[in-house]
Structure 1
Amino acid sequence: MRKSYLFTSESVSEGHPDKVADQISDAIVDLFLSKDPEARVACETLVTTQKVVLAGEIRGNGIMDRDGNWAEGVREEIEAAVRATVKRIGYEQDGFHWQTLDFANHLHPQSAHIAQGVDASGNKDEGAGDQGIMFGFACDETPDLMPAAIDYSHKILQAMADDRHDGNAPFLEPDAKSQVTLRFEDGRPVEATAVVVSTQHAPGYDEGEKRDELHSYVKSVVAKVLPEGMLTEKTVFHINPTGTFVIGGPDGDAGITGRKIIVDTYGGAAPHGGGAFSGKDPTKVDRSAAYIARYLAKNIVAAGLAKRCTIQLAYAIGVSQPLSLYVDTHGSGTVPDDAIEAAIFSIERLGGLTPRAIRTVLNLNRPIYEKSAAYGHFGREAEGDHFPWEKTDLVEDLREALEG
């Protein structure tokens, strides 16, 4: 790979319309998994001016039967979860308000033909919920073992959102985007050459002293997030470069589940198989296999086996065994890549990376997903039930498998 170059990644806030849709979809996943850990969920969300629309296929005990009959009270719980999510994000605007928005629920039963291929029966193990390729990645650019540009982009917006929720930045509104360009020398990030932050704001913060206050605030947040020395006198800031940003969120632009897959993963620093995560229960390998791939890649780097690692997995719908496992340490590995592949399959508790084994290893059949739907699914702190794919508890297993 090149030693000297510029690389850019972007992030969007929890109030970005596509992220509002992602969080609503995952709030529904969490609601259904809390009722039935084996629930099947494929929930898509559309948000626009004063409207939220749900559509998709579902199945689960205490939720909906195969004929499309809702369990008592569930429809009301769904609407309550939607409104609570919008309220938590902070939308109480004329164009999008948690309390007064119009809500439509078009969820319906899962296709019986999909169910017969995915469900375990007789001697048949649970199959993958769909075909596809999934990637995981880790590198040693940051303590989170994430690519630096996306890591910093996420953390800028997370810090701004925390200040907004805490009342420390009352001029901020929920919708925002960030973008960080880094200069790399000898493959390491050494300088931020450009930082872009566009944030929805209260009226009046686009000119004069209030504009200066907003710009000064954003620069102070960036300075706290980026490591010492990364900002220099050459760093170019673009803060709200279009000027006024009062109308935002779903009122400014429609949002749909699954449109920010690069923001959700590695900011373009690694491949993406194309599948979105939010709104899907963990039998869908778009989600669960991407999580286990990140888990494997992160543990490989954490074990000192490589400085960079890309994992690819491939599945066929209804088939339990992965079609392929590919490990690429980009020339940074301390052992051959094919030896790492063999080690992964030799670790008994990984169960051959079947869909059910993945769900068991990471304990994914829990309502843990709404928290992942903003500020990236990866590079987050594994705490309590959340982000189990960020744990580094496979390090010793990998080392022992390679020694054996």
Structure 2
Amino acid sequence: MRQSYLFTSESVSEGHPDKVADQISDAIVDLFLSKDPEARIACETMTTTQLVVLAGEIRCKGVYEDGAWAAGAQEEIEATVRNTVKRIGYEQEGFHWETFRFENNLHAQSAHIAQGVDASGNKDEGAGDQGIMFGFACDETPDLMPATLYYSHRILHRMAQDRHSGAAPFLEPDAKSQVTLRFDYGVPVACTAIVVSTQHAKGYDAGEKEAELHAYVKSVVADLLPAELLSDDTVYHINPTGSFEIGGPDGDAGLTGRKIIVDTYGGASPHGGGAFSGKDPTKVDRSAAYITRYLAKNIVAAGLAKRCTIQLAYAIGVAKPLSLYVDTHGTGTVGDDKIEAAIGEIAKLGELTPRGIRTHLGLNKPIYEQTAAYGHFGRNPDGDAFPWEKLDLVDDLKAALF
């Protein structure tokens, strides 16, 4: 491991145009799963100035069957979309939850895809697509996430809380953050740079109002980052381009699935390429990424490693994974091959099939809209939310290894 290096991760707020799209797509997933836990959804969203467009494939009992919508279904979809944008806080001339144009282009799932995924006779439910999925955990933070991403998320989440509560009325929904830390032998020891670009009310780009905004951002950073990481040498770039009054979908088009590194590990781990939002949990892009995070987190929590990367691979229509790979980056207390074998011995995981994953983690529930901003990982489990963050596999892993 290198003695000293810099590493950077970024985050984006719930009002970022791509995140608006992600949250809308996952609100649609939740809507359909609330009607039919076995619903199939692949919903993509595009946002731009005063326009939201849905496209994709669905199958949902009682809502969309045999190519026809149930009475009132399309109106409920539109209301869900508008309520999501309202919750985020867009009431601007260029993007307003009540007045944007809306198009629903969802249609029936391909029968050829469905036949490979559906269970039938002696055939178990197959994966919804081919692909590779990665999970990661490390001991840099209490939530076992990379520190650079952990703090980037927390800065924007606090700013959103203050915007919604009225504590920071000059903030608007769109924002980005970036944190650079210096590491010595893999341990974060100093914050060298903070970047925050936030949409703001008129006039907060000059004079006393600009100074107020800058002071507010620095106070948030000081409150959230450990004091020992900050110093007079920490460089701040706050709205470095100047004015940021036009933001969100009015300032830049948004698409579902364009922030997969923000959603995962901030670049500290590989990513297989598949996005999460808008997909029901038969899609292993989502469910297998959740189970690999769950496994990696429990491995680190069990003291088996300080860092852990796990990869799974699937073929469309095939239930069992093609491969399982564990890499503890030289930090493991037992061999990586032994950890792989131990995972295979834990019967409750259902051989890591799509149905086994969904059953073990309880994924056929409307829990996804809340995942679509501030990261899918490193969030504290709350009831049914974020079940892949639970540490209930630690004893099973120890029992299989010792």
Match of 1:28 in 2: 28
Are 1:350 and 2:349 counterparts?
Answer: yes
What's the Cα RMSD here?
0.5
Deviations 1:192-246 (A, max 9, x none): 0000000000000000000000000000001111112111110000000000000
Match of 2:382 in 1: 383
Q: Which amino acid aligns with 2:142?
A: P
Match of 2:279 in 1: 280
Match of 1:233 in 2: 232
Match of 1:289 in 2: 288
Q: Which amino acid aligns with 1:18?
A: D
Deviation at 1:290, TM superposition (A): 0.1
Match of 2:259 in 1: 260
Q: Secondary structure at the match of 1:229?
A: helix
Deviation at 1:60, TM superposition (A): 1.2
Are 1:160 and 2:169 counterparts?
Answer: no
Q: Secondary structure at the match of 1:56?
A: strand
Match of 1:308 in 2: 307
Match of 1:210 in 2: 209
Match of 2:119 in 1: 120
Match of 2:75 in 1: 76
In the TM superposition, what are the counterparts of 1:3-402 in structure 2 within 5 Å? 3-66=3-66, 68-402=67-401
Q: Secondary structure at the match of 2:43?
A: strand
Deviation at 1:351, TM superposition (A): 1.0
Hey, what's the Cα distance between the residues in 2 that align with 1:350 and 1:85?
Answer: 34
Hey, what's the Cα distance between the residues in 1 that align with 2:53 and 2:211?
Answer: 39
TM (norm. structure 2) is 1.00
Deviations 1:159-199 (A, max 9, x none): 00000000000000000000000000121000000000000
Hey, what's the Cα distance between the residues in 2 that align with 1:294 and 1:304?
Answer: 16
Hey, what's the Cα distance between the residues in 1 that align with 2:282 and 2:2?
Answer: 38
Hey, what's the Cα distance between the residues in 2 that align with 1:35 and 1:324?
Answer: 34
Q: Which amino acid aligns with 2:127?
A: A
Deviations 1:21-78 (A, max 9, x none): 0000000000000000000000000000000000000001011113x10012111110
Deviations 1:57-108 (A, max 9, x none): 0001011113x10012111110000000000000000000000010000000
Hey, what's the Cα distance between the residues in 2 that align with 1:244 and 1:355?
Answer: 47
Q: Which amino acid aligns with 1:5?
A: Y
Hey, what's the Cα distance between the residues in 1 that align with 2:93 and 2:213?
Answer: 23
Q: Which amino acid aligns with 1:36?
A: D
Q: Which amino acid aligns with 1:230?
A: L
Q: Secondary structure at the match of 1:78?
A: helix
Q: Secondary structure at the match of 1:27?
A: helix
Q: Which amino acid aligns with 1:141?
A: E
Deviation at 1:3, TM superposition (A): 2.8
Percent of aligned pairs with the same amino acid: 79
Q: Secondary structure at the match of 2:55?
A: strand
Hey, what's the Cα distance between the residues in 2 that align with 1:385 and 1:31?
Answer: 16
Hey, what's the Cα distance between the residues in 2 that align with 1:139 and 1:287?
Answer: 21
Hey, what's the Cα distance between the residues in 2 that align with 1:342 and 1:202?
Answer: 56
Hey, what's the Cα distance between the residues in 1 that align with 2:349 and 2:45?
Answer: 33
Match of 1:2 in 2: 2
Hey, what's the Cα distance between the residues in 2 that align with 1:126 and 1:223?
Answer: 49
Deviation at 1:337, TM superposition (A): 0.4
Q: Which amino acid aligns with 1:232?
A: S
Q: Which amino acid aligns with 1:24?
A: I
Which 4+ runs in 1 deviate beyond 2 A?
A: none
TM (norm. structure 1) is 0.99
Hey, what's the Cα distance between the residues in 1 that align with 2:135 and 2:282?
Answer: 18
Hey, what's the Cα distance between the residues in 2 that align with 1:72 and 1:316?
Answer: 37
Q: Secondary structure at the match of 2:64?
A: coil
Q: Secondary structure at the match of 2:227?
A: coil
Hey, what's the Cα distance between the residues in 1 that align with 2:350 and 2:97?
Answer: 44
Hey, what's the Cα distance between the residues in 2 that align with 1:2 and 1:391?
Answer: 32
Q: Which amino acid aligns with 1:37?
A: P
Hey, what's the Cα distance between the residues in 2 that align with 1:259 and 1:63?
Answer: 28
Hey, what's the Cα distance between the residues in 1 that align with 2:178 and 2:219?
Answer: 16
Q: Which amino acid aligns with 2:158?
A: A
Hey, what's the Cα distance between the residues in 1 that align with 2:203 and 2:62?
Answer: 50
Count of residues in Structure 1 that have an aligned counterpart in Structure 2: 402
Deviations 1:342-378 (A, max 9, x none): 0001001011100000000100000000000000000
Hey, what's the Cα distance between the residues in 1 that align with 2:366 and 2:17?
Answer: 23
Q: Which amino acid aligns with 1:383?
A: D
Q: Secondary structure at the match of 1:9?
A: strand
Hey, what's the Cα distance between the residues in 2 that align with 1:224 and 1:308?
Answer: 27
